[in-house]
Amino acid sequence: WALMMVAMMLPSAAPMILLHARIDRAETPAERLRNSLIFIASYLLVWTLFSAVAAALQAALVSAGVLSGASLALGDPVLVAALLIAAALYQLSPAKSACLDQCRSPIHFVMGHWRPGPAGAARLGVVHGLYCLGCCWPLMALLFVGGVMNLAWIAALALTVFVEKLAPPRWHADRVVAGLLVAGAAILLARG
């Protein structure tokens, strides 16, 4: 889970990572590099902790027979549809909107949260990671829909996160994703 989260979330965090590296004014290149690495490690710590929770949930769902041990995907179409609808509702929530606003504009985020030095880099990484988690955790829960090890599904979710964070707000990518999730749920229920 942790490696998968790193692979999925680092591309969408790249603008923030690059901005951090550019604006850090530590005295030496080595100190700037250290601060950037601390920022990245702190960001990834948030996703690693999420990964631990997701892995524990996965194990519990497999033990309960709700998640297929082979595909690591939910088998019950009604349960899948419910998860899709829950994710769609979160896409439309004020919490999602607030977190997405923080993730969309790295410069505004940095202006509001910047602190110098290693401690500042660690704090900034954790805060950015928490906003990113708040923005994306329901989409990551959809790994249980398509299969935790399904590379096409992983790529689709990573692309969705990337587009949501980088698309201009006027595109309402979060609403488009919500609509697609509801449509997917409706198709599943209609087939069932």
At 69 the pLDDT is 87
Beta-bridge partners for 67: 74
How many other CB atoms are found less than 10 A from the CB of residue 181?
A: 25
Residue bearing tokens 């990484």: 125
Mean pLDDT by 10 residues, the chain (192 residues): 93 94 94 97 97 96 92 93 98 96 91 95 98 96 93 95 92 96 97 83
Q: What share of the chain is helix, strand, coil (3-state, %, to 5)?
A: 80, 0, 15
Residue 11 CA from chain centroid, whole number: 11
Q: Quote the pLDDT of residue 192.
A: 73
**pLDDT of res. 156:** 95
DSSP state, 108?
A: H
Q: Are 154 and 143 in contact (CB under 8 A)?
A: yes
